[in-house]
Amino acid sequence: MSANTNITSSEKKKVAFIGAGKVGAPLAAHLAEAGHEVTLAQIRDGSETVTKALARSERLAARPISDALADAEVVFLAVPFGAIETLLPPLANVLAGKVLVDCTNPVGAGLSHGLESRRAGSEFVQSLVPDAAVVKAFSIYGFENFEQPEFPEYNLRPTMLYCGDDARAKASVAELIKDCGFEPLDAGGLVQALHLEHMTLLWIRMVRMHGHSPRLTWAALRQY
């Protein structure tokens, strides 16, 4: 079930991050510096990860998770996939009607798909928060490319594929993708998330196992 979202793509948005580690922290800082109101959700008091993330930008704030999510229009989920089954169900009501950007990836033993490719991790996320509009994004690269997405020697931006079932939610996320330094590319409905998760596994194997540069990204070339 998709949420009835009320966000236009031209607005500066109220954004919350669940997870402020190697993925969440740089994305939160990029969006804060782009003018969005960004809050880091404190899952527990005294989080060293949140403290380090706050140092990236004076525009970032941190609040208890219930407060951070209550005011947000868009919420980024950037925690280990194994944590979501416990974390998300108690938040289902507060996430209802919001855009939930799923940055997680189910990675199993031997760099296999953690759900045995029977369903996408994002579809599992959607099942836990059925009244949120889940959009898969920021998942096909390692954290190094979230730190510094720019490639000044090329006249194009790295592509960020995203997918989801709610058109308005996807339009909103596409604008946030641009503000993080990427070129958004709509991959279709949430069913496509499984393929994006396999792209992640491909990137991990190429970079972490076979020695390719962690600054490896994809680009979309179009002929008009």
Per-residue pLDDT at 4 exceeds 90: no
Q: What is the pLDDT of residues 169-216, one digit of tens each?
A: 999 999 999 999 999 999 999 999 999 999 999 999 999 999 999 999
- What are the tens digits of pLDDT across the range 89-143? 999 999 999 999 999 998 888 888 877 788 889 999 999 999 999 999 999 999 9
Q: What is the mean pLDDT of residues 2-22?
A: 74
How many residues can be counted in the chain?
A: 224
Output the CATH code of domain 14-209. Answer: 3.40.50.720
Question: Would you say residue 2 has pLDDT above 70?
Answer: no
Q: Report pLDDT for 77.
A: 98
Question: d(Cα 129, Cα 131) in Å, to the nearest integer?
Answer: 6
6 φ/ψ angles, rounded to the nearest 5 degrees: -125, 35
* Structure confidence at residue 42 as a pLDDT band (50, 70, 90): very high
